[in-house]
Structure 1
Amino acid sequence: MSMIKGVLFDKDGTLFDFATTWEAWAASFLERLAKDRAGAAHLGAQIGFDYHARRFAKDSVAIAGTPGDVASALMPHLPGYSFEATIDLLNSEAANAPQAEAVPLIPFLSDLQHRGLRLGVATNDAEAPARAHLSSAQVLDKFDFIAGFDSGHGAKPDTGQLLAFARVIGTAPETIVMVGDSNHDLIAGRAAGMRCVGVLTGLAERDVLEPLADAVFENIGHLPGWIAAQDT
């Protein structure tokens, strides 16, 4: 088996804990958008978010979908908003969402770099808020590659972002690990010919991820030991 040379991370639910980051933020965002609690609950239902319980459904479009998917679900209930304006609103609001790191990211990513690994991010979020979140965590400079759904490579579960990362770092897909919290991440990884690791800091449960993954961990903190074991 080829030595691992690169690690490509999903963002939400992988580098950052999904529920801690997004569930409280979603409630306040929907309140601002709808102006009242009843409207917020109605909008939340369109994207698989229980406003009263402050919880996303496991099949919510917001989990693995793009801002375009979320905008499409909300638009019929936002009179006066165009598709482009809705996406712009989602992106600008998302850029300000406080991120809860799955593990302390600076030492974690620095350790991977010291092992000689090249690092990337492939998210179905837009690129601008993704960069804002990584910058806020002071880890933007740790990554050789950052792509969102709007970066020109498509979105997962298609393989465009993944293969673009392989090209940027100049290595074969089989020497890269795709790390993510959803089946979109792992389906894309498998299709691209990469090794796949699932993490449980999103909303998908272990039994959903295991059939698609080489390993499933509680969080990304277990990754360095697993990589070291693959290379021995």
Structure 2
Amino acid sequence: MIQGLIFDKDGTLFDFRRSWARWVHHLLDELATNEAHRRMLAEAIHFDLDRDDFGAESPVIGCTAPEIADDLLPLLPGMAKEPLVARMNALAVGAAMAEAVPLLPLFQRLQARGLKIGLATNDTEAPARAHLRNHGVLELFDFVAGYDSGFGGKPAPGQLAAFARLTGLMPGRVAMIGDSRHDMEAGRAAGMICIAVLTGIATRDELAPHADVVLPDIGALPDWLDAFVPA
């Protein structure tokens, strides 16, 4: 029996393209000195301004803010990394997230099953909590970790192991739900069931070899849980 669910945030709870394209535009507005510079910065993080979309290699998809900053800093002479990361995180706190599915009724249903619920994101913890709070679901989570919470970031399994440890659950009775290979690798390394969803950038073909199951979105979880039979 599955007793716990730990979710990625961006691309899983929230539609990645609709949510984070806005954040990129706001960031570029602050950093770029002109249109040519804006395009150079966008290219550095694999964001196509003409299509308003992310390339598969964009660090925004699965990397931490300091890692994204490393790609931008060569184009920002005179700017130090720490204030850039701080500004990126401040913009993330206020970023308007687009729900992949209606979150409150879904998480109320999951909590009513007696499931422990966690969040593991490569975002920082403060924006993660703000995004959950803004959508009325923060109090339904038993555990929230960002890359700065002391457990590391994905694809390492530290956040997931901490969730299992702090809730007293066996990892094999926990499912990791995410939209990226990083999520699946973290789940596998933690000894958890791996559930991929298609509300991020990665395709079914990219995720299927690394997941136990691929669902269209997290709204399909209740029916999948009803049908789940342990191997």
What's the TM-score bracket when you normalise by the shorter of the two chains?
Answer: over 0.9
1:222 offset after TM fit, Å? 0.4
1:231 offset after TM fit, Å? 5.4
Residues 31 and 39 in structure 1, CA contact (< 8 A), matched pair in contact too: no
Q: State which of 5, 8, 11 in structure 1 corresponds to 2:6.
A: 8
Q: In structure 2, what residue type is equivalent to 1:53?
A: R
Quote the Cα distance in structure 1 between the aligned partners of 2:150 and 2:132. 20
Percent of paired sites with the same residue: 50
SS of 1:88's equivalent in the other structure is helix
Q: In structure 2, what residue type is equivalent to 1:191?
A: A
Q: In structure 2, what residue type is equivalent to 1:7?
A: L
Quote the Cα distance in structure 2 between the aligned partners of 1:140 and 1:31. 30
Residues 162 and 189 in structure 1, CA contact (< 8 A), matched pair in contact too: yes
1:230 offset after TM fit, Å? 1.7
Equivalent residue number for residue 206 of structure 1: 204
1:218 offset after TM fit, Å? 1.1
Quote the Cα distance in structure 1 between the aligned partners of 2:182 and 2:3. 22
The RMSD of aligned alpha carbons is: 1.2
| Mapped pair 1:18 → 2:16 | yes
Normalising by structure 1, report the TM-score. 0.96
Quote the Cα distance in structure 1 between the aligned partners of 2:164 and 2:103. 23
| Mapped pair 1:221 → 2:219 | yes
Equivalent residue number for residue 136 of structure 1: 134
Change (3 A) 1:204 1:197: same
Quote the Cα distance in structure 2 between the aligned partners of 1:81 and 1:142. 39
Quote the Cα distance in structure 2 between the aligned partners of 1:162 and 1:186. 11
Q: State which of 169, 172, 176 in structure 2 corresponds to 1:171.
A: 169
Residues 27 and 88 in structure 2, CA contact (< 8 A), matched pair in contact too: no
Quote the Cα distance in structure 1 between the aligned partners of 2:89 and 2:221. 30
Equivalent residue number for residue 102 of structure 2: 104
Quote the Cα distance in structure 2 between the aligned partners of 1:145 and 1:231. 26
Quote the Cα distance in structure 2 between the aligned partners of 1:24 and 1:135. 19
Equivalent residue number for residue 230 of structure 1: 228
Gaps of 5+ in 2: none
Q: In structure 1, what residue type is equivalent to 2:20?
A: W
Quote the Cα distance in structure 1 between the aligned partners of 2:28 and 2:50. 12
Equivalent residue number for residue 76 of structure 1: 74
Q: In structure 2, what residue type is equivalent to 1:101?
A: E
Residues 22 and 95 in structure 2, CA contact (< 8 A), matched pair in contact too: no
1:93 offset after TM fit, Å? 0.6
1:198 offset after TM fit, Å? 0.3
Gaps of 5+ in 1: none
1:80 offset after TM fit, Å? 2.5
Quote the Cα distance in structure 2 between the aligned partners of 1:37 and 1:15. 33
Residues 12 and 202 in structure 1, CA contact (< 8 A), matched pair in contact too: yes
Residues 41 and 52 in structure 1, CA contact (< 8 A), matched pair in contact too: no
SS of 1:149's equivalent in the other structure is coil
Q: State which of 48, 53, 56 in structure 2 corresponds to 1:55.
A: 53
Q: CA offsets per residue over residues 99-147 of structure 1, 9 Å max, x none? A: 0001110000000000110100000001111111111111111100000
Equivalent residue number for residue 29 of structure 1: 27
Quote the Cα distance in structure 1 between the aligned partners of 2:212 and 2:97. 27
1:27 offset after TM fit, Å? 2.0
Work out the number of aligned pairs and report it: 230
Quote the Cα distance in structure 1 between the aligned partners of 2:17 and 2:151. 27
Quote the Cα distance in structure 2 between the aligned partners of 1:163 and 1:20. 30
